[in-house]
Amino acid sequence: MYISIKSRLIFLLIAFTLLPFVLLRIVAYPKVQSDLQEILIRNLDGIGHKQAELVTNWVQERVKNAGVIAENPFMTKCAKINEHDEDYPYVVKYLKSIQYKYGYKGILISDNTGMITVATAEERVGHDISQRDYFQQALQGNTYVSGIVHSEIPLINEFGEKEPGMPTMFVSTPLRDRDGMIVGAIIIRVDANALNNLMLSLNLGTTGET
């Protein structure tokens, strides 16, 4: 009898000890798991919104830069300038200062026929871009942002070497004279990797790995 009572007491003690854990597993764990899933989804949504905002701000900054160049009164002359013009080196120097400041791959100026008159990068002066979307949109009076495309010319990569097919983007805007007539286009060649690096830094920052 003594052994039986002792065994029952031990059984009851074990049962009451394990009961809270059983209840926690049955009742609390599903709720905790649900809450964690909700938090995870909310955080992922937050990352998506932040990325969208980042891309929008990044693109708007490039559009703004193109507009600032186009509004420079001296740029109107550049639609008809040539490499033998005495002002040509100063124009290239001005555009290169903007290119290096913002990390662009190049800045182009064309006349209203699509002929490049000034170039800071690899594009040849005199090259015809009349069939390019970025030129045609600018000629219609629109500021245009292309999608990410593979460069048709070799560009300098992060190792300082020329590499064909690098990802790039174009931002273009019309170049107008004092009467508002479109006389050409300003085209900025953007390094698409810069945007990718920004988005990667946002992801790393949200996971605490930076």
CATH number (domain holding residue 78): 3.30.450.20
Q: Please check whether residue 34 lies inside any domain of the structure.
A: no
Q: Please check whether residue 81 lies inside any domain of the structure.
A: yes
Burial class (CB in 10 A: 0-12, 13-18, 19+), 69: buried
Q: pLDDT tens, 15-45?
A: 555 555 554 555 444 544 455 455 455 555 5
The number of angstroms, rounded, from the C-alpha of 210 to the middle of its chain's C-alpha atoms is 20
Q: Please check whether residue 19 lies inside any domain of the structure.
A: no
pLDDT at 204: 46
How many domains is the chain built from?
A: 1
Residue 173 sits in which domain range? 52-199
**Top-confidence range, 52-56, 79-83, 158-162, 206-210:** 79-83
Q: Please check whether residue 141 lies inside any domain of the structure.
A: yes
- Give residues with Cβ within 8 angstroms of 103, minimum separation 6: 191, 194
Cα torsion 39, 44, 46, 47: sign: positive
Is residue 98 helix, strand or coil? helix
Q: Please check whether residue 38 lies inside any domain of the structure.
A: no
Q: Is the pLDDT of residue 176 over 50?
A: yes
Cα separation of 22 and 8, whole Å? 20
Q: Please check whether residue 84 lies inside any domain of the structure.
A: yes
Q: Is the pLDDT of residue 114 over 90?
A: yes
